[in-house]
Chain A
Amino acid sequence: MSAPLVSLIGVGKKFSNGVEPLAKLDLAVREGETLTLLGPSGCGKSTTLRLIAGLTRATRGEIVWRDAPPAPGEIGFVFQEPTLMPWADVAANAALPLRLQNAPRALIASRVREALAQVGLSAFSGAVPRELSGGMKMRVAIARALVTRPKLLLMDEPFAALDEVTRFKLNDDLLALKRDNSTTIVFVTHSVYESVYLSTRVVTLSAQGGAIVDEFDIDPALPRDAAFRLGVDFAHYAHRAAAALQKAIGGAAS
């Protein structure tokens, strides 16, 4: 197996107020995989993403990149909330990462067109965020993260605030995106369903300190569809993920 894209070696994070979401985490992200970090609230999932993105610094251990440390634009980030600029229209929101890098106008226009097409929002490029539904706003946030064609896409519970039907749809869309791009994805969720449906590997973190409780691969190839969701394999994996989550909270697996 080739060397992992990025490795967290004994990484810990302690905030100045004494809270320690991560004590000592060892985690390797393989190129091309969709890795889900599953765990209860406060287990350090989001902190792990922020550490990989370079938005915060580890207080212990180190983060090792296989190649050079990522340049701006090589990492995409999708937050829990869409976090769009309410005064800017859809195209301007999606264009932001490229504008911040002083990309040429023509490149920005073609990349934004491409990214909006990927998330099915081509017809809405002139709309402002308040004119969009919650699911559409999240699609804009995903288009914004894709516009630089990142090597690594970090997603922090992006669909947690959406209703179940919208979430199903966006899950399928994310799988379709994955089919068209080879982007490596690290996806954080507390949903057993999402973790199994979307990812090729599930890592479950414990409630305190973010220790790895369980880790397993999910073999059926991406993209998956309703047949997988309704099949026996899915139930099997979901049972394992649910048991791991139960253990992470501190209870015994049933």
Chain B
Amino acid sequence: MKIFDAARLRAFLSSDDYLPAKVVVATLLLWEAVVRIGGVQEYVLPAPSVIAVKLVVDRELLLSSLMVTLSITLESLLLAVVCGVALALAIAHSKMLERAIMPFAVTLQVTPIVAIAPLLLVYLAPSHAVLVCAFLVAFFPILSNTALGLASTDHALLDLFDLYRAPAWKKLVYLKLPAALPQFLAGLRIAGGLALIGAVVAELAAGAAGQGTGLAFRIVEAGFRLDIPRMFAALALISLTGLAIHAALALATDALLSRWHESARRRGE
């Protein structure tokens, strides 16, 4: 058996198997080639190989920053889930409460978090301010999606529960919560990405005040030192964190819905 088979390699490259991975690899190779052949300076645009080396050399510093950013993101997401679902349940219970709360929720949602962050830093300790920032952006998609899911419970099924005189908590546990699950998960997927954005934005704002050791602060700090490869290395870790959160939530959605929900169904099955 030949180790290198040109015909098989060509067949592999021209097929659309693993297409996304191939595109990523091709882009990285092109980037590497442009930098090397064009003689681009490292402080202008570092090659992927240089960034990779930086990731290894600075691993202790970058990993500790990654843990800071990641824990803020996950804590804020958890807080957003607890508060978002609780408030959605309260809203589903009372139209009056919905009308009272929605103006605040919508105002917070439409006000850019970058503009709120400096104020939060005035009132809160930097670590708390970062958490609250990430929470504020992650909270609304979970609230609105879960509230929508709870409100769109099949009325005939609600009638059926009434027919058998089911108490309110059974309606909630057996009917409304499972019915709202697809919308809740859609909100969670949006919130997962937004929590990371919120954490990074808040770190940038807090970093200017001389605090924080998250990845966003590393980018600012490396920028001051003109350590461009480290800026890229920190940026790569932020992107990978976002991708990991996205993938984890997509997998969770698929595991929970694949058997019964249309969104997880392949056409023609």
Contacts and interface: CB of A to CB of B under 8 A. Distances in A.
A86 B260 contact: yes
Interface in A124-138: 128-130
B161 interface: yes
Interface in A164-219: none
Contacts of A120: none
B160 to A, nearest CB: 7
A75 B259 CA distance: 32
Contacts of A241: none
A32 to B, nearest CB: 22
B163 interface: yes
A113 B78 CA distance: 42
A85 B159 contact: no
A53 B163 contact: yes
B154 A87 contact: no
Nearest to B157: A83
B261 interface: yes
Interface on chain B toward A: helix, strand, loop, or mixed SS?
Answer: helix
Interface string B150-184: 00001011011111111000100011001101000
A54 B181 CA distance: 30
Given A87-B260, A130-B265, A55 B162 contact: yes
B163 A72 contact: yes
Interface residues of B, number: 22
Given A79-B156, A129-B260, A87 B178 contact: yes
Interface in B61-88: none
Nearest to B257: A87
Give the interface centre of B157, B163, B259, B261 by most chain A CB atoms within 10 Å. B163
Contacts of B170: 100
B154 A83 contact: yes
A146 interface: no
A81 interface: yes
B103 to A, nearest CB: 27
A100 B154 contact: no
B181 A87 contact: yes
Contacts of A50: 159
A86 B161 CA distance: 15
Interface string A70-95: 00110101011101011110000000
Give the interface centre of B154, B179, B181 by most chain A CB atoms within 10 Å. B154
A80 B157 CA distance: 12
Contacts of B262: 130
A129 B262 CA distance: 11
B267 to A, nearest CB: 13
B163 A54 contact: yes
B101 to A, nearest CB: 26
Interface in A85-126: 85-88, 96-97, 99-101
Contacts of A97: 164
Closest A-B pairs by Cβ, 8 of them? A83-B156, A100-B164, A72-B165, A100-B166, A79-B156, A86-B260, A87-B260, A72-B164
Interface of B: 154, 156-157, 159-166, 170, 174-175, 178-179, 181, 259-262, 265
22 contacts: A50-B159, A55-B159, A55-B163, A72-B163, A79-B159, A80-B156, A81-B156, A83-B160, A85-B157, A86-B260, A87-B181, A87-B259, A88-B178, A96-B174, A97-B164, A99-B174, A100-B164, A100-B166, A100-B170, A101-B164, A128-B259, A129-B260
Given A75-B163, A87-B261, 17 more contacts: A55-B163, A72-B164, A72-B165, A73-B164, A83-B157, A85-B174, A85-B179, A86-B260, A96-B160, A96-B164, A99-B174, A100-B170, A128-B259, A128-B260, A129-B260, A130-B262, A130-B265
